[in-house]
Each structure stands twice: as C-alpha cells, then as structure tokens.
Amino acid sequence: MSDKKPKNVFVEGPITSEFIGNSIAKHQTKTSIGAHNIFLGQVRADDIEGKVVSAIDYTAYEDMANEKFHEIREATFDKFNLTCMHIYHSLGKVKVGEICLFVFVSSPRRKEVFKALEYVVEEIKAKAPVFGKEIFEDETHQWKENT
Amino acid sequence: MSDKKPKNVFVEGPITSEFIGNSIAKHQTKTSIGAHNIFLGQVRADDIEGKVVSAIDYTAYEDMANEKFHEIREATFDKFNLTCMHIYHSLGKVKVGEICLFVFVSSPRRKEVFKALEYVVEEIKAKAPVFGKEIFEDETHQWKENT
Amino acid sequence: MQLNIKYFGLIAELTTCNEETLEFSEATIADLKEVLVEKYPELKTKDFQIAQNKEIVSSNAIVSGEEIAILPPFSGG
Amino acid sequence: MQLNIKYFGLIAELTTCNEETLEFSEATIADLKEVLVEKYPELKTKDFQIAQNKEIVSSNAIVSGEEIAILPPFSGG
C-alpha cells in the first residue's frame, strides 16, 4: 500500500536481525505475495591507508530525508507492481558487521521485486541527505562518500 | 567461500522467519561484507478458475537437484564477487503465506549482490528438478509450472 | 539390459509409482521414450524430460544404463 | 533578510555549528555561496549542495528565505 504522508524511516542505532525476522513474519498473512526481496547494508571494516573502520556514525537532514524517502516510495509504487515496501535507515553509531539499511519489497511476482529493489537502493544512495562518518579504531574519522 | 562438495539444500516444511533472522545474524561477524541481498519465495493463495490454492506440496529429484544447486553455486561464485551464498528450498507441504525458497548472497559491494541474486534465482527456477503440487482448499490439486 | 527408472511429480502420479525396473534392449533415449509411451499412453500428451546420471539428455543420447529419471516441468521456488 | 541556515556532516564540522542565522541582502543561491565562502574560507575546497525548503536548488535560484541547508556529498546506506 502507498501512504500519502511521509513516515519516519530512521531508527536509532543498528537494525537487528530480530527486527528483520519479525518484519518478514508480519508479511506471512499477505497471501497475494509470491516474492520478497530484501537489501541489507552492513558496515564494512574497510582498511583505508592502514586505518581500519570500526563504526559509522550516521546523521541526516531528517525532514528532507523523510520527504525524499517518501518520494522514492511513491515513484517505486508507480513504476513497479508491488504489494508492499519498507525502508529503515540507522542514525547514530553502527559498528562493523551491524546493519544500517534495510529495504524490503514484496510483490506477487519475482521479476518485479528484483527491478524495484535495485531502483529503491540506488535512489536512496543518490537522493537521501544522510551522512556517514567513518570512525577508525584509533578514534580518528573521515566522511564517507557514496560511489 | 565456495565448497567443492554438494550440500543438502532441502529443508522439511516451510522456512521460518526465525531461521532467516538467525542466518542474517551469523553474517555479522564477516566484516568484509557491505551488502546482503535476500530472495524469499512465498506460497501465494492463487485463484485458479475459482479454486484457491491453500498449500504447495514440494517433491524433488533430490540427488540431481543438490548437484544442480551446487553447479549454480559454483557458477555464481565464478561470475560475481561474492563473500558468501546460501540456498534453502522446502520439501513437503508449505502453506500459503509460508516461505519455500530462501536465497542469500553477500558481497563487499552492492552492485554484485543484485546481479548475483537474480542470476541464482532464475537458474534455480530453470535447472533444479523440484516439483510443486498446488493443493486447493477442496483438496483437489494441480501441478505447478514455472514461467 | 535392466533399467532402473525414477518418476517424479505429475509423471509419478500418472505411472502410479516412483521407481521401477524395465527391460530395455534398444539404444537411444528416443527408443526409451517409445517404450515408456507404449507402457503409459498418457505420457504422449505430457511434457517431460529424461535425465541420465543426473543430467538432462537429448533424444539421440545413448542409454548407458545409469540412473534414469523422467521429469515433468520444473516448478521449484 | 534573516536566513536560518543548517549545516550537516563534514560542513557542520567545518563551520563548527549545526545551525545559525545570517543577515543576507543579495538575491541568488550563488550570492549566498559567496557569503558563506567569505565567512568559512575552507568551504571553497569542499563539494557541497544547497537545499531550500528541502529541495536541492541550483546557483541561479532565488533565495526565498525558507529553510536553507548546506549539504556535503550524501553517504547513506
């Protein structure tokens, strides 16, 4: 279903595997769904010139980001035959190995979910004003840029 | 990692949301992973000429299917830069709303997981000798065919 | 030669068995198809493939005596 | 006119504040950029975009006085 009012996509801290499992469970009453596709962004222990990332600290221009997430959501429902769609993004500190982005799309048919999920993830990366500060093990940091 | 021996991909009955959540949790120690992509096949309450599907009963030519899953797995690791990959398929009765296929791919980078996951799912549909009997609410049945 | 043949899904329903041993004295998979259609005339109207030693084989392949399976259209996932 | 300006990420680090009010008497976003670069010379070497009323605006857009935000490259996900 497509709502008309922007929802809050942000959650404080990492997105847990239990939260994701529960979200899957909630969709088992929707018997028109034949295919789910889930994207999870996980914080990588990147080695940048000898320093290893230990966490990413996320901040966002929240009002604008929620509006952009809403626009992405509406555009995705217009383009693809989806039954439902959910986006969750972390704010604050997310350690390596923890999940910072959870995108969940469901449809009667599998072809739709593949196209829709990639579209949503690329749109989020390009349009949502979210900023990740990569914190190294020695407490120094650098600002991440999406590629 | 790519193993050399076919694993058993089949699980008896539906794949639960807890199983999926646990599988995600297990990947949080792998800190080279930046992106996960998960496909879930869910049994749809299709209406076929007035009869509604209530479950699918899956059987398989298990030895050949596990070999095919293994070949698909090896080919996928050759084609894409993946950190890990898991496939689980149900055997026996899976009711509407329950999950019968769980494919999980992980990579340092998101572009790889999108391409890899769609490839794996299409290969499974085309090459794995698995047979779904759609059971209607009135206990009659018909044999499913992938499209 | 004695052939052990496995049947699956819709085909097993039609043959009413999952596995049986047949005497086979011809050469190719096409010949085997004829033997099967003679025994189970309904097979004529059904879409099926034959696997030998767990690989789909074409009609002109030679029957080696290894594991044979008669497979209806796949519907996994 | 009084402009309320929000700073994010790398830019907020450089300005050492998340939000401030500036006096602005010019017309366009390009003019605003000049005012900002004058106040924070380090901005000159940084890549940033300006949002007005939660939409990215181009340099020739007119400053309306609505919510202004200075945004470094996005890195969500």
CATH number of A10-143: 3.90.1170.40
pLDDT at position C46 is 95
Percent of chain B with pLDDT over 90: 92
Structure tokens, A68: 């952009």
Give the integer Cα–Cα distance in Å for B67 and B5: 9
| Whether pLDDT at A57 is above 60 | yes
Task: Write the secondary structure of B40-94 as one string of H (helix), E (strand) and C (coil).
Answer: EEECCCCEECCEEEEEEEEEECHHHHHHHHHHHHHHHHHHCCCCEEEEEEEEEEE
C75 and B127 in contact by Cβ < 8 A?
A: no
Residue C44 lies in a domain: yes
CB contacts under 8 A, A 54-83 vs D, are: 58-61, 63-65, 67
Give the integer Cα–Cα distance in Å for A129 and B35: 20
Give the minimum alpha-carbon distance from A95 to chain D in angstroms, rounded to a whole number: 14
Beta bridge partners of B111: none
Residue D25 lies in a domain: yes
Beta bridge partners of A55: A95, A135
D77 and A130 in contact by Cβ < 8 A?
A: yes
- Beta-carbon contacts of B21 under 8 Å, excluding residues fewer than 6 positions away, are A17, A18, A20, A21, A22, A24
- Mean pLDDT of all residues in chain C? 96
Residue C77 lies in a domain: no
Give the minimum alpha-carbon distance from D6 to chain A in angstroms, rounded to a whole number: 9
Reported as a single tens digit per residue, the pLDDT across B3-13 is: 567 889 999 99
Check residue A142 and report its DSSP letter: E
- Cα B11 from chain centre: 10
- Mean pLDDT of all residues in chain B? 95
Backbone angles phi, psi at D29, to 5 degrees: -65, -35
Give the pLDDT band of residue A1 (cuts 50, 70, 90): very low
Total domains in chain D come to 1
Q: Which helix (H) or strand (E) holds A13?
A: none
Give the integer Cα–Cα distance in Å for C59 and C31: 8
Find the helix packing angle between A110-127 and B110-127, rounded to 10°. Answer: 180
Give the minimum alpha-carbon distance from D43 to chain A in angstroms, rounded to a whole number: 15
User: Where do we find the tokens 């940084």?
Assistant: D46
Residue B57 burial class via C-beta count within 10 angstroms: exposed 0-12, middle 13-18, buried 19 and up: middle
Q: DSSP characters for C14-66? A: HHT-SEEEEE--S-BHHHHHHHHHHH-GGGGGS--EEEETTEEE-TTSBP-SS
Interface check for C46 against chain B (CB to CB < 8 A): the answer is no
| Whether pLDDT at A5 is above 90 | no
Give the integer Cα–Cα distance in Å for A59 and A37: 27
| Whether pLDDT at C76 is above 80 | yes
Instruction: State whether residue D48 is helix, strand or coil.
Output: coil
Domain that holds residue C41: 2-71
B108 and A25 in contact by Cβ < 8 A?
A: no
Give the minimum alpha-carbon distance from B61 to chain A in angstroms, rounded to a whole number: 23
Residue of C nearest to B71 (CA): C55
Give the integer Cα–Cα distance in Å for A57 and C56: 53
Structure tokens, D69: 């935000």
Determine which of A131, A135, A147 to mutate to test the interface with D (most D C-beta atoms within 10 Å). Answer: A131
Residue D76 lies in a domain: no
Of the candidates B46, B41, B99, B54, the one whose C-alpha atom is nearest the C-alpha of residue A35 is B41
Which segments of A5-139 are extended strands (E)?
10-12, 35-42, 47-48, 51-60, 84-95, 99-107, 130-136
Where are the alpha helices (H) located in D1-77, listed in sequence order? 9-15, 29-39
Residue of C nearest to B146 (CA): C75
Instruction: State whether residue A47 is helix, strand or coil.
Output: strand
- Please give the ipTM for the structure prediction: 0.94
Give the integer Cα–Cα distance in Å for A69 and A43: 21
pTM comes to 0.95
Give the pLDDT band of residue B1 (cuts 50, 70, 90): very low
pLDDT tens series, chain D, 77 aa: 999 999 999 999 999 999 999 999 999 999 999 999 999 999 999 999 999 999 999 999 999 989 999 999 999 98
Residue C16 lies in a domain: yes
Residue B48 burial class via C-beta count within 10 angstroms: exposed 0-12, middle 13-18, buried 19 and up: exposed
Residue C76 lies in a domain: no
pLDDT: which is higher, B100 or D65: B100
Chains near A with 3+ CB pairs less than 8 A apart are B, D
Order of strands, sheet of C55-57, starting from the edge strand that comes earlier in the sequence: C19-23, C2-7, C68-71, C49-52, C55-57
- Mean pLDDT of all residues in chain A? 95
Interface check for A123 against chain D (CB to CB < 8 A): the answer is no
pLDDT at position B6 is 81
CB contacts under 8 A, A 2-41 vs D, are: 41
CATH number at residue D52: 3.10.20.30
List the single residue in D6, D10, D74 with the smallest CB-CB distance to A130: D74
pLDDT at position B7 is 87
CB A125 within 8 A of CB D74: yes
Residue D77 lies in a domain: no
